[in-house]
Structure 1
Amino acid sequence: MPTSIITTDDLREFKFELLDDIKKLLTKQASGKLKKYLKSSEVMKLLQISPGTLQNLRINGTLPYTKVGGIIFYDSDEIQEVMLSNRIHHKID
């Protein structure tokens, strides 16, 4: 497994990408464009995560979900709460 070195520039870029994603999520919700309940594929697209990452978030209890007849739904309000509660404030010089 190759080793990758993460620089402060990489972290800064990741921070800005994540903040942009959160802003988009909040803007969609504020404008009423975001549905109340999202399917797994919609959550993966919204958060730009893989199916495995989404499964891990379910398994470890990070992301609440509801299963109805084999289909998994996520409450968009709960996704927003998870994003805000896991927000990390760093000072980057």
Structure 2
Amino acid sequence: MGTLEFIAKEDLEQFKMELFAELRRPTFKAPLGKDKQKPFIKSYEVRQLLGISPGTLHQLRKSGQIKFSRIGGLMYYKYEDIEAMVNGRT
């Protein structure tokens, strides 16, 4: 039989915090060529770039972490603003 190992509660809490921090960090998937990048992108494109859900994008807008413009029923985002937010230059 294998050996039995115990995990301290503090170690488990630390692991949980590190895992949540990693999961919350947006991953920025850069487009193929920046020269081909549109200056404004739609919500679904932002979600694809950042790998986030519609609810997360809504929370980013609501908290003011991401700038947007509403035209009719659509929301548009400046590509450079998204890039700056991901790189911590907001």
User: If the length of structure 2 is used for normalisation, what is the TM-score?
Assistant: 0.65
Q: Greater Rg, structure 1 or structure 2?
A: 2
Structure with greater helix percent: 1
Q: Measure how far apart 1:85 and its partner are.
A: 1.3
Task: Point out where structure 1 has 5 or more consecutive residues left out of the alignment.
Answer: 87-93
Task: Point out where structure 2 has 5 or more consecutive residues left out of the alignment.
Answer: 1-12
| Structure 1 equivalent of residue 69 of structure 2 | 66
Q: Spell out structure 1 runs of 4+ moving beyond 4 A.
A: none
Measured in 2, the distance between the counterparts of 1:30 and 1:57 equals 26
Instruction: Spell out, residue by residue over 1:13-46, the C-alpha distance to the aligned partner (whole angstroms, 9 max, x if none).
Output: x49x96xx44x42xx3753232211100111111
User: If the length of structure 1 is used for normalisation, what is the TM-score?
Assistant: 0.63
Aligned 1:4-15 pairs, distance under 5 A: 5-6=15-16, 10=19, 14=22
Q: How many residues are aligned here?
A: 75
Seq. identity, %: 30
